[in-house]
A and B are shown apart, each in its own frame.
Chain A
Amino acid sequence: MSQNHARGERAKLEVCGVAKRFPAAGAAAGGPWVEALAGVSMSVAEHEFVTLLGPSGCGKSTLCNIVAGLFRPDAGTVRLDGALIDGTRGRVAYMQQKDLLLPWRTVLGNATLGLEVQGVDRAVARAEARDLLREFGLEGFEAAYPAALSGGMRQRVALVRTLLCRREMLVLDEPFGALDAMTRAAMQEYLLRLRSEFHRTVLFITHDVEEAVLLSDRIYVLTDRPGRVRAVRRAPEPGPRRATDPEVVRLKAEILDLLRGVPAGAD
């Protein structure tokens, strides 16, 4: 557990031996099963930015869905602030690769969705959303419908909606996977602000090694399906990094080796 607690003393999110399997697609009941996760253990400390990195289909999203309470784990436990998450919804803010904006709602209406579900007063929710939309360069677009926005703007609205859920723990499942490189770089800067300005704890999912190394405090490298933790790596140093920093390059190479299945050296 030496690598496990980075900044804060207590774990915000603690995942312990979580396993999950699904019926294979098209199989009858009692038929073959697909194992998505095989005993994953990990933790995220308060205000930490932790990335889960793994090949496509390694069960990263399944883990996210379990943390978000959409599924229950077959085995193992998930605890947030010490309280069990077992199909419990609404405890974390969750953002996915698809922006999932409601096409029939304006930017403002989409941003306030989380607060609305929580029963927050409409005027309060709208005021809060306006402030945050301005922060994220969406001023003047409050009344626009999602169809009129670019991919990057839509994803920023989704990020605002996620932030406005007023949850300390954010689970971001490949939020920039569908964006072009430039928009993506801009979004990554926004994301770094989440921690510095908004003091959130982030569990971030990606299959982009560079993105992981640039953004994270710690990186969990997962194996192919069924997902297991292959290794944990700490990022060079807190603060802004560049893709060309020697430390970053070295860590990237090391993680790429891990993903290819080369045995870890001094682990």
Chain B
Amino acid sequence: MSALSPRQIAKTTLGAARARGARPGRLLRRAGAWWRQAAPPAGLIAVLIAGWEWAVRAFGVPPYILPPPSQIAAVLIADRAILLGDATVTLAEVLLGFAVAFVVGVALALAIVSSRTVERAVYPLVIASQTVPVFAIAPLLIVWFGYGMASKVAMAALIVFFPIVVNTVDGLRAADEDLVNLLRILGAGRRRILLTIRIPAALPFVFSGVRIAVATSVIGAVIGEWVGATRGLGFDMIHANAQLHIDRVFAAIVYLSVMALALFGAVSALEWAALPWRREGTR
């Protein structure tokens, strides 16, 4: 029927796919690409810090207004035990709050997607709840949950709850209906369709929600600590600020930024590991 055999057709595509598997060259190229991406912002940061150091010294800015980076670095080293201890407290609040929001949020998203009644009753409220400024109810949370960890966990959870629910609902609905029909024709039930199609299709959406949420959950915990706490980086900042230890405030900010970056990176790494099919298709 044709001169070209199917095996020949397979071979041409085979060559292209095999070429991608050349290991050492690929790793080097990756490292090179990473460096090309990381070098410009790293250089800019170095220039900005040097400029800051120079400006503070040149204009004689008092350290209780703006300390030079070298002084902040000194505080980071000198107070590392206290800062690290407070950071651990804040990180625990963030992770717990995030975990609570994730479990409740995903469960609610599943309920919303599988029941029209739940969707009609709950989803408008979830959306409307976003008009309530979460920061405004922080004092209430302190009243209800006390000065301890619980109120900060609640704060972090409330802040990340919304992006998790909305992204998971969108993701569960994003499944290609033709794929769902394929499973139906094969004789699959609702449960199997959920596990085989809807949840895998939702994962990229869930991850993008989680990536946003995990950084903002740090904000939630810190706000909670500002309003009323006995420990944590936010508590540290408020006290240092009151005593005009601005270098200490900056040191806490450095810790918070590193924490948020690390969490973001951890989620991205998890996504990379959990969704191998996404990286194969795009690279």
What mask results when residues 158 to 191 of chain B are scored 1 for a CB within 8 Å of chain A, else 0?
0000000000000000001011011111111000
Contact A70 B181 (CB under 8 A): yes
Interface hits, A113-162 → B, CB 8 Å: 113-114, 117-118, 136-138, 140-141, 144-150, 152-153, 156
Interface code B236-278, partner A: CB below 8 Å = 1, 0 otherwise? Answer: 0000000000000000000000000000000000000001110
From B186, B275, B276, A113 is in contact (CB under 8 Å) with: B186
CB <8 Å contact, B196 and A102? yes
The answer to the question of A185 belonging to the interface, with a C-beta cut-off of 8 Å to chain B, is: yes
Bound form: Cα–Cα A141–B13 in Å:
11
Query: Using a Cβ–Cβ cut-off of 8 Å, how many residues does chain A contribute to the interface with B?
Result: 44
CB neighbors of B among A233-251 (8 A): 240, 242
A29 lies within 8 A of chain B by Cβ:
no
Which of chain B's residues has its CB closest to A116's CB?
Answer: B196
The reply on B10 being an interface residue by CB < 8 A is yes
| Given A182-B2, A188-B1, also A103-B185 (CB < 8 A) | no
A113: chain B residues at CB < 8 Å are 183, 186, 196
**Which of B5, B187, B280 interacts with A186 by CB under 8 Å?**
B5
Q: Please give, as numbers and ranges, the residues of chain A lying within 8 Å of B176 by CB-CB distance.
A: 100
Minimum CB–CB distance from B11 to chain A (whole Å) comes to 9
Are B13 and A150 touching (Cβ within 8 A)? Answer: yes
| Interface membership of A189, Cβ < 8 A | yes
Judged by a CB distance under 8 angstroms, whether B57 is at the interface is no
Does B200 reach chain A (CB closer than 8 Å)? yes
B192 on the A face (CB < 8 A): yes
Q: How far is the CA of A182 from the CA of B1 in the complex (A)?
A: 10
| B-contacting residues, A186-236, CB 8 Å | 186-190, 214
A94-B185, A100-B178 known; A117 vs B192 contact (CB < 8 Å)? yes
* Beta-carbon nearest neighbor of B201 in chain A: A104
Tell me, yes or no, whether A62 is within 8 Å of chain B by CB.
Answer: no
- Check A185 against B17 for contact (C-beta < 8 Å): no
> Is there contact, CB below 8 Å, between A137 and B184?
no
Cβ-based interface call for B7 (8 A): yes
Which of chain B's residues 123-180 have a Cβ closer than 8 Å to chain A? 176, 178-179
Taken together as a complex, chains A and B put the C-alpha atoms of A152 and B4 apart, in Å, by: 13
Q: Are B1 and A214 in contact (CB under 8 A)?
A: yes
Known contacts A182-B4, A185-B1, A68 near B9 by CB under 8 Å:
no
Check B185–A70 contact: CB distance below 8 A. yes
B: interface residue count bin:
20 to 34
How many A-B residue pairs have C-beta atoms within 8 angstroms? Tell me.
96
Interface: A69 (CB within 8 A): yes
User: Are A145 and B275 also in contact (CB < 8 A) when A152-B9, A182-B2 are?
Assistant: no
* Interface membership of B197, Cβ < 8 A: yes
B10 touches A137 (CB 8 A): yes
> CA separation between A105 and B276, bound complex, in Å?
9
Determine whether the beta carbon of A90 is less than 8 Å from that of B275.
no
Residues from chain A with a CB closer than 8 A to the CB of B181 are 70
Please provide the chain A residues from 52 to 69 with a CB less than 8 Å away from any CB of chain B in the complex: 68-69
Digitize B1-34: 1 where CB-to-A-CB distance is under 8 Å, 0 elsewhere.
1101111011001100100000000000000000
Bound CA–CA A104/B280 (angstroms): 10
Which residues of A lie under 8 Å from residue B187 when comparing CB positions?
A: 89-90, 117-118
Is A77 in the interface zone, CB < 8 Å from B? no
A182 proximity list for chain B (CB < 8 A) = 2, 4, 9
Inter-chain CA distance A213–B16, complex, in Å, is 35
Chain B, 177-225, CB within 8 A of any chain A CB: 178-179, 181-188, 192, 196-197, 200-201, 203
Alpha-carbon separation in the docked complex, A240 to B183 (Å): 35
Contact B188 A117 (CB under 8 A): yes
Q: Which of A149, A187, A240 contacts B13 (CB 8 A)?
A: A149
User: Within the complex, which residue of B7, B192, B281 is in contact with A103, where a contact is CB–CB below 8 Å?
Assistant: B281
Asked if A165 CB lies within 8 Å of chain B CBs, one says yes
In the complex, the answer to whether B188 meets A153 with C-beta atoms within 8 Å is no
A117 touches B277 (CB 8 A): no
Contact B9 A103 (CB under 8 A): no
* Cα distance, A152 to B262, chains bound together (Å): 43
Query: Which residues of chain A are near B9, meaning CB under 8 Å?
Result: 137, 150, 152, 182-183, 186
The answer to whether A43 has its CB under 8 Å from any CB of chain B is no
7 contacts between A and B (CB under 8 A): A96-B178, A103-B277, A113-B186, A146-B277, A186-B4, A214-B1, A242-B1
Pick the 10 closest A-B CB pairs, nearest first: A90-B187, A147-B281, A185-B2, A186-B6, A137-B10, A104-B200, A117-B186, A145-B277, A150-B13, A145-B280
Q: Give residues in B with beta carbon < 8 Å to A.
A: 1-2, 4-7, 9-10, 13-14, 17, 176, 178-179, 181-188, 192, 196-197, 200-201, 203, 275-277, 280-281
